Amino acid sequence: MSTLKAVRGTRDLLPPETELWNHVEATARRVFARYNFGEIRTPVFEETSLFARGVGEETDIVSKEMYTWEDRERFDVQGLINAWTNVQVTERGHVLESAIPKMLQAVEKFGVRLILGRRNPEKPEFVAFGSKVTREAVEGLTNAKKELRTSNVFRYSPDADYLRRFGPGLRLVVPAGLPTEDIALGEVIVEEFPGHFNKSVQSLTLRPENTAGVVRAYIEHKLGETGLLQKLYYIGPQFRRERPQKGRYRQFWQIGAEAIGPPSAGSESPLRDAEVLEMLAAFLDELGIEGWRLEINSVGSATDRARYVAALREALAPVKHRMCEDNQRRAETNPLRVLDSKDENDQEIINGLPKIADYLDEDSKAHFAAVLAVLDKCGVKYEVNPRLVRGLDYYTRTTFEFTHGGLGAQNALLGGGRYDGLSEALGGPKAPGIGFAMGEDRLILTLQAQQEQAAALADAFIAPLSAELNPAALELARELRRAGLRIELGDGSFRLKKSFEIGNKLARKIVLLGEDEVKSDILTVKDFASGEQVKVARGVLAHALHATSK
Ligand code: HAM
């Protein structure tokens, strides 16, 4: 028997790794609570139309990546049999009830559930029950009749002779009102039977993201009527049928938050955008993620964007035939997506396309400038990326991504932005909002890489500044190693630049050992991560290195 494995793109999280997941989640809860966010838990599946209307029909997520199914109440075959049999007995005549259990067992062999009935004793029938008229059911019935003559399953039936003599008819009973497959029925009679054996059919989807679900809940529970800003965070799995690779899964985890409310609650204010970004910077720092970058842009109001998309279409029309197939398609269906194409050959064309900044109206420009001003004031570093438009249709004005170089192709740690019209698009009241979602899997990957790197690094790299100082360098190394430190020793023949390069790869700190240092017993120590350089007396050097070793 083949062994069962987790489905492609999904995985198990096991101890001790789950400890790291719990740590990340606990840090998120702690930091978000300081900003007065409360937790919301929405269902893992929703009606498909929520995502079609919220995220946008033309987006990759909705058009290609969702796990969607028709959800219907299970077909109740026994209910249909009981109801039908009852009617036959009470209204129309006579059913060979004694034969039913035996027949039910016997006909499994033919692939359809059959019982034997007859409206009147002169016309016996094979009767099959199904949720709909399918090819298999019709074939099964026809085969059942063929096999009747040769089979001995009816040997003990009191009616065997009787049946052989008459040759029963074939009847397929299905609940009324269901679509029928267009197939040849041959001699099979179809009877549609009234009754609710198969209830409402709904299209459902495993959530590919959670902003639409949160806004649906905001509308459903009339949270806007409180008049207050709703600050909600969530932690949970999301599902997208993407091609799996490092940092990209089909079931992945997001930690996200949304600040949404009526305009009177200040939900439109640039201060909200900046506060959310500052919270993210605080969270990543508290978690110890090093080297993140914040890229930010404004995609303007819905009307700004419509004008921009028209300009993009126009600019793409004469050049798109020179672009890759994907971009040719995007140029038609969703020109904004061309901007985040990574295709090398198309970059020149893309760089020459109109910039959204030139299509923003005065209000959007002022809003963006105000967001940046608050960030400057609180010292949150960012880069404006005019090509950052993001892959979901609901965004307006501020959009952003935090990236990390260590992640490779899937370098977005998190993404988010403002969605001032989403509530109205879902039939709710005016409720501007801003939020983000972090890829928890990617946070974990980044932390693991950092931990591995840290574990592999020596506490210090000793760099003698000339060959004559080599003996003194080994003496110092011996001293520090005896104190239990992990020390890498350079060589006096290395140029200073080379010592720094090697030291940076192998150790957390570099200790410079020149003539002055030897004479004064005061050493120069530089920390590679912080860039900080300090003088340390030799007598306390081991202690100082221990204090900062991880
Ligand atoms: P998103 O950019 O589609 O935005 O996803 C946010 C983050 O989820 C990404 O930056 C990435 O870290 C992670 N992510 C996405 N797809 C995958 C995947 N297949 N495997 C692993 N990680 C993945 C949203 O989902 C918006 N709802 C964010 C938002 C909230 N905007 C406003 N509020």
The string of DSSP letters for 486-546 reads: -EEE--TTS-HHHHHHHHHHHBSEEEEE-HHHHHHTEEEEEETTT--EEEEEHHHHHHHHH
216-225 average pLDDT score: 98
Q: CA-to-CA distance for 209 and 44, rounded, in angstroms? A: 10
CA of 214 to the centre of ligand 1 (A): 15
pLDDT on residue 520 = 94
Least confident of 130-134, 150-154, 371-375, 442-446: 150-154
pLDDT on residue 408 = 80
Q: Residue whose CA is closest, atom 22 of ligand 1?
A: 439
Check pLDDT > 70 for residue 532: yes
Check pLDDT > 60 for residue 515: yes
Q: Residue whose CA is closest, atom 30 of ligand 1?
A: 436
- What number of H helices and E strands is found in the chain? 19, 20
Q: CA-to-CA distance for 130 and 76, rounded, in angstroms? A: 9
pLDDT on residue 116 = 55
pLDDT on residue 330 = 87
Name the burial class of residue 367, with classes exposed (0-12), middle (13-18) and buried (19+) by CB atoms within 10 angstroms of its CB. buried
Q: Residue whose CA is closest, atom 18 of ligand 1?
A: 248
404 lines ligand 1 (CB under 6 A): no
437 lines ligand 1 (CB under 6 A): yes
pLDDT on residue 456 = 83
Nearest to 51 by CA among 261, 249, 216: 216
pLDDT on residue 103 = 47
CA of 515 to the centre of ligand 1 (A): 55
490 lines ligand 1 (CB under 6 A): no
Name the burial class of residue 473, with classes exposed (0-12), middle (13-18) and buried (19+) by CB atoms within 10 angstroms of its CB. buried
Q: Is residue 154 a contact partner of residue 133, using CB atoms and an 8 Å limit? A: no
Q: CA-to-CA distance for 311 and 327, rounded, in angstroms? A: 16
Q: Residue whose CA is closest, atom 17 of ligand 1?
A: 248
Check pLDDT > 70 for residue 84: yes
Whole-model pTM: value is 0.75
Q: Residue whose CA is closest, atom 25 of ligand 1?
A: 209
500 lines ligand 1 (CB under 6 A): no
CA of 63 to the centre of ligand 1 (A): 16
337 lines ligand 1 (CB under 6 A): no
User: Would you tell me how many other CB atoms lie within 10 Å of the CB of residue 165?
Assistant: 9
pLDDT band at 279 (very low <50, low <70, confident <90, very high): very high
Which atom of ligand 1 lies closest to the CA of 248?
A: 20
Q: What's the DSSP call for residue 88?
A: I
Which atom of ligand 1 lies closest to the CA of 210?
A: 27
**Backbone dihedral angles phi then psi of residue 136, each to the nearest 5 degrees:** -60, -40
240 lines ligand 1 (CB under 6 A): yes
Q: Is residue 275 a contact partner of residue 27, using CB atoms and an 8 Å limit? A: no
The percentage of residues in the chain with a pLDDT greater than 90, rounded to a whole number, is 64
pLDDT on residue 159 = 54
pLDDT on residue 454 = 79
Which atom of ligand 1 lies closest to the CA of 401?
A: 10
CA of 389 to the centre of ligand 1 (A): 14
Check pLDDT > 60 for residue 185: yes
256 lines ligand 1 (CB under 6 A): yes
207 lines ligand 1 (CB under 6 A): no
* Strand ranges, E, within 265-363: 292-298
Which atom of ligand 1 lies closest to the CA of 249?
A: 20
Check pLDDT > 90 for residue 525: yes
233 lines ligand 1 (CB under 6 A): no
Characterise 266 by phi-psi region: left (phi > 0), alpha (psi -120 to 50), beta (else): left
402-410 average pLDDT score: 86
pLDDT tens by residue, 457-502? 899 999 999 999 999 999 999 999 999 999 999 999 999 999 999 9
pLDDT tens by residue, 231-269? 999 999 999 999 999 999 999 999 999 999 999 999 999
- DSSP lists the bridge partners of residue 193 as 175
- The more confident residue out of 10 and 407 is 10
pLDDT on residue 115 = 54
Q: Residue whose CA is closest, atom 13 of ligand 1?
A: 439
Strands 433-439 and 412-418: antiparallel
Check pLDDT > 80 for residue 396: yes
417 lines ligand 1 (CB under 6 A): yes
442 lines ligand 1 (CB under 6 A): yes
Check pLDDT > 50 for residue 528: yes
User: Would you tell me how many other CB atoms lie within 10 Å of the CB of residue 546?
Assistant: 13
441 lines ligand 1 (CB under 6 A): yes
Characterise 427 by phi-psi region: left (phi > 0), alpha (psi -120 to 50), beta (else): left
pLDDT band at 121 (very low <50, low <70, confident <90, very high): low
193-216 average pLDDT score: 88
Q: CA-to-CA distance for 85 and 78, rounded, in angstroms? A: 10
Least confident of 28-42, 119-133, 176-190, 363-377: 119-133
**pLDDT averaged over the chain?**
87
Q: Residue whose CA is closest, atom 14 of ligand 1?
A: 439
213 lines ligand 1 (CB under 6 A): no
CA–chain centroid gap for 121, Å, is 62
pLDDT tens by residue, 13-48? 999 999 999 999 999 999 999 999 999 999 999 999
SS3 label, residue 126: strand
pLDDT on residue 81 = 79
Q: CA-to-CA distance for 57 and 269, rounded, in angstroms? A: 29
Q: How far is CA 411 from each of CA 221, 232, 282, 385, rounded to the nearest angstrom?
A: 36, 26, 20, 15
Check pLDDT > 80 for residue 305: yes
252 lines ligand 1 (CB under 6 A): yes
Task: Tell me which amino acid residue 402 is.
Answer: F
Q: Residue whose CA is closest, atom 10 of ligand 1?
A: 414
- The more confident residue out of 222 and 127 is 222
CA of 174 to the centre of ligand 1 (A): 45
Q: 505: which residues sit within 8 A by CB, 6+ positions away?
A: none
Check pLDDT > 80 for residue 351: yes
Q: CA-to-CA distance for 440 and 21, rounded, in angstroms? A: 8
Task: Tell me which amino acid residue 426 is.
Answer: L
Q: How far is CA 97 from each of CA 102, 117, 215, 358, rounded to the nearest angstrom?
A: 10, 8, 56, 80
Strands 460-464 and 45-47: unpaired
416 lines ligand 1 (CB under 6 A): yes
pLDDT band at 73 (very low <50, low <70, confident <90, very high): confident
pLDDT on residue 183 = 77
pLDDT on residue 417 = 98
Characterise 195 by phi-psi region: left (phi > 0), alpha (psi -120 to 50), beta (else): left
What's the first-to-final CA gap in the chain, in angstroms? 48
Least confident of 43-52, 80-89, 119-128, 365-374: 119-128
Mutating to test ligand 1, I would choose from 50, 243, 254 the residue with most ligand atoms within 8 A of its C-beta, which is 254
436 lines ligand 1 (CB under 6 A): yes
Angle in degrees, 0-180, between the axes of helices 538-548 and 470-482, rounded to the nearest 10: 50
CA of 439 to the centre of ligand 1 (A): 6
Q: CA-to-CA distance for 484 and 461, rounded, in angstroms? A: 14
